[in-house]
Amino acid sequence: MKKWIPAAAGLVTGLMAATVFFADFSPGPTGEAAKDTANKSNAEKVYVPFGEKDDYYLFASGGHSGQMFIYGVPSMRHIRTVPVFSPDSATGYGFDTHSKEMMGGYTWGDLHHPAFSETDGDYDGKYMFATDVGNSRAAAMNLETFTVRDIINVPNTSGPHCAAFVTQNTEYMFLPTRFAVPIGSEYADLDDYSTKYRGVMSAVTFDQNKEKLNIAYQVALPPWSYDLSDAGKKMSADWAVMTTYNTEEATTNLEINASQADRDFIVLFNWKELEKMVADGQYDDVTGQKMIFPEKHKGGIYLVPVAKSPHGVDVTPDGTRFIASGKLAPAMTVFSFEKAFAAIEAQDFSGERNGIPIINYDSIVEREVNPENALGPLHTQFDDKGMAYTTMFITSEIVKWDPNTGETLDRVPVQYSPGHSVAAEGDTVAPDGKYLVALNKIAKDSYLSVGPSHPESMQLIDISGKMEVIQSAPVNPEPHYAQMIKADKIKTITVYPKDEKNPNATYEQDKTKIVRNGNKVDVYGIAMRSKFIFDSKAKRPDTIEVNEGDHVTIHLTNIDFDQDITHGFAINGYDLNIEVQPGQVNTVEFVADKAGTFPLYCTNFCSALHQEMTGYFLVKPKK
Ligand code: CUK
Ligand code: CUA
């Protein structure tokens, strides 16, 4: 492998040149000048002058941090961390009533695959979905506010790693399980694995008006591990695919035992047909879910044999093919949807497993692609010309190849061991080309050392000509996957609109009040520059006084309808902190179980008198 020169070295000299360059050429890299980047130095290609914005948003999954990291491309600047499955004191997430309820009592999550909502196969910029492998949940994030609006627990599915991938018009996202468990997660002897365990897939819908996720139905697949999935597009829009491993049904030492068979399977299913089966009552009621048992409720699901333990499976932008990556077999296998449909029509099957027909491999495979000396293919992305880019985990590189011919077109080393990569608008029917970001698992010598544990690394690759790594950015664990969307598709709001119907909202100072009902205390307060008002008529409007053991609910309305004036609310020693963004109404609930005197204060710097934005929380001891 070629010796890698750290991007930072080139950047220092490059930046000096860039300053001069952009002084002469407006409007800079986000405007017209960006079109002709071929001769610019790498530093110039990624330099976004202060005051100008990046061309793309990059949403990188935060893995076992449970969060989502938002970056700008091409600068690769980290803009924001949005908490999804883990609490976050910086934003009060997991402390206020709504987010705490959504968390369902969990304190961490393992976020793998983010997915944008789609309209006609294109990112529509409205929502972002993600799943939690650690505690089996799914979440929906609103992109006007970059806040999570709903989280559901997915029963019968343990670790929905294989998701979230949405269908062309966000009809569904499919959440197949990584770990097979008995239905309802009941106790069952592992000797009964093949008969009592199942690999359940959930079909989840999202109601945009109510901002609610819902499980439409589930499918009790064989007790295998389901790894990655992708939804069909255009001609294959009614279909979805997912890879499997451990079709050996091993229950211990999977490293060896789940890699015995030469072939595992891709599950190919028609969700329109499954939807119809459910409408026709072709399911069993199990643990409150509509469960399809393929051995009993026939149709709509097929198996495609594929080289052992595949990892990624990706549908081409035109929807005509799906490509499986080998992991243990150094090849990408290209399958034709058209041929698969014909084989299903002709019942061209070579057998069945658990009542699911196995499609004849030879009838639908187009080619096995094996670039010279490339090892460990994991995931494939596409550019605007339909060319494929596959990450090679073992040989640390991206290989560009032509799905029509199998020909290798280009390769570039990355540092090191990429898992996924993400292309600009890469999962849509019309990727942009231009940029690809390699999400590397190992960073080793790339950044200043912070001890034995290194950050992960994201590397920006210019794919407009010969592939070239042009920027490198450290990232917290662990970007399993990411989504890159054109910046102008996302329309954020700057303040929350007034919600007069909200019974918890208080927009006028003289409407603030503290209401006692037995041992229940409700505070309807205001946060504004630079004070809290909990009861404007009280001797000290910024003090809340309760009795030990009271159940306290504090509703706070931020009446600063001004961009970027966010207030925080914390009570010293009470382990709580919430945020109220401009115009927002937020609630925090707790039991005043500690008697004493506790200062309360605004945690978010909001004005020159932010330090004065304090008060007292007094808790009278029980006699
Ligand atoms: S996975 Cu393939 S490298 Cu998508 Cu969770 Cu991490
Ligand atoms: Cu309000 Cu600081």
Atom of ligand 1 nearest to the CA of 133: 5
Residue 2 has pLDDT above 70, yes or no: no
Task: Label the pairing between strands 173-176 and 197-207.
Answer: antiparallel
Ligand nearest to the CA of 478: 1
**Token pair of 137 as six digits:** 């949940």
With a 6 Å cutoff on the Cβ, whether 112 touches ligand 1 is yes
Structural domain count, the chain: 2
**Token pair of 65 as six digits:** 């941090």
* Domain membership flag for residue 14: no
Domain that holds residue 594: 509-620
Radius of gyration from C-alpha coordinates of the chain:
27
* Domain membership flag for residue 5: no
With a 6 Å cutoff on the Cβ, whether 413 touches ligand 1 is no
With a 6 Å cutoff on the Cβ, whether 420 touches ligand 1 is yes
Nearest CA to ligand 1 atom 6: 480
Split at pLDDT 50, 70, 90, the class of 24 is: very low
Residue 602 has pLDDT above 60, yes or no: yes
Note whether 435 and 484 are within 8 A (CB): yes
Asked whether residue 584 falls in the same domain as residue 471, the answer is no
With a 6 Å cutoff on the Cβ, whether 606 touches ligand 2 is yes
With a 6 Å cutoff on the Cβ, whether 602 touches ligand 2 is yes
Chain centre to alpha carbon of residue 364: 32
Ligand nearest to the CA of 327: 1
Quote the ligand 2 centre to 539 CA distance (angstroms).
Answer: 22
Asked whether residue 463 falls in the same domain as residue 549, the answer is no
Cβ atoms within 10 Å of 39's Cβ, excluding its own: 6
With a 6 Å cutoff on the Cβ, whether 604 touches ligand 2 is yes
Residue 33 has pLDDT above 70, yes or no: no
Give CB contacts under 8 A, 24+ apart, made by 572-576: 572/598, 572/599, 572/600, 572/601, 572/617, 573/598, 574/598, 574/617, 576/95
Segment 123-141 shows an average pLDDT of 97
Quote the ligand 1 centre to 40 CA distance (angstroms).
Answer: 33
User: 585 has which bridge partners?
Assistant: 557
Asked whether residue 534 falls in the same domain as residue 451, the answer is no
* Domain membership flag for residue 531: yes
* Domain membership flag for residue 134: yes
What's residue 329's pLDDT?
Answer: 79
**Which residue reads 């640390």 in tokens?**
396
User: 367 has which bridge partners?
Assistant: 334
Mean model confidence pLDDT for the chain: 92
Atom of ligand 1 nearest to the CA of 113: 4
Ligand nearest to the CA of 610: 2
Asked whether residue 472 falls in the same domain as residue 538, the answer is no
**pTM of this prediction?**
0.91
Split at pLDDT 50, 70, 90, the class of 39 is: low
With a 6 Å cutoff on the Cβ, whether 149 touches ligand 1 is no
Residue 303 has pLDDT above 50, yes or no: yes
Asked whether residue 199 falls in the same domain as residue 171, the answer is yes
Atom of ligand 1 nearest to the CA of 311: 2
What's residue 357's pLDDT?
Answer: 97
Ligand nearest to the CA of 133: 1
User: 543 has which bridge partners?
Assistant: 616
Segment 97-123 shows an average pLDDT of 97
Split at pLDDT 50, 70, 90, the class of 115 is: very high
- In the three-class reduction of DSSP (H, G, I as helix; E, B as strand; rest coil), residue 341 is classed as helix
Asked whether residue 402 falls in the same domain as residue 440, the answer is yes
Quote the ligand 1 centre to 419 CA distance (angstroms).
Answer: 6
Asked whether residue 190 falls in the same domain as residue 302, the answer is yes
Residue pLDDT, tens place only, 508-562: 999 999 999 999 999 999 999 999 999 999 999 999 999 999 999 999 999 999 9
Quote the ligand 1 centre to 376 CA distance (angstroms).
Answer: 13
Domain boundary among 456, 489, 522: 489
Quote the ligand 2 centre to 560 CA distance (angstroms).
Answer: 11
* Domain membership flag for residue 313: yes
Asked whether residue 347 falls in the same domain as residue 476, the answer is yes
Quote the ligand 2 centre to 534 CA distance (angstroms).
Answer: 15
Quote the ligand 1 centre to 389 CA distance (angstroms).
Answer: 16
Comparing 588 with 185, the larger pLDDT belongs to 588
CATH number at residue 79: 2.130.10.10
Asked whether residue 555 falls in the same domain as residue 482, the answer is no
Ligand nearest to the CA of 603: 2
Residue pLDDT, tens place only, 221-249: 999 999 999 999 999 999 999 999 999 99
Residue 3 has pLDDT above 80, yes or no: no
With a 6 Å cutoff on the Cβ, whether 130 touches ligand 2 is no
Asked whether residue 150 falls in the same domain as residue 272, the answer is yes
Q: Strand locations in 503-584, DSSP E? A: 513-517, 520-528, 531-533, 543-547, 551-558, 567-571, 576-580
* Domain membership flag for residue 368: yes
* Domain membership flag for residue 18: no
**Token pair of 206 as six digits:** 């999202």
CATH number at residue 526: 2.60.40.420
Query: How much of the chain, in percent, has pLDDT values that exceed 70?
Result: 94
Asked whether residue 465 falls in the same domain as residue 563, the answer is no
Asked whether residue 482 falls in the same domain as residue 529, the answer is no
* Domain membership flag for residue 34: no
Q: What is the DSSP annotation of 42-83? A: HHHHH---TT---SEEEEEE-BTT-EEEEEEETTTEEEEEEE
With a 6 Å cutoff on the Cβ, whether 481 touches ligand 1 is yes
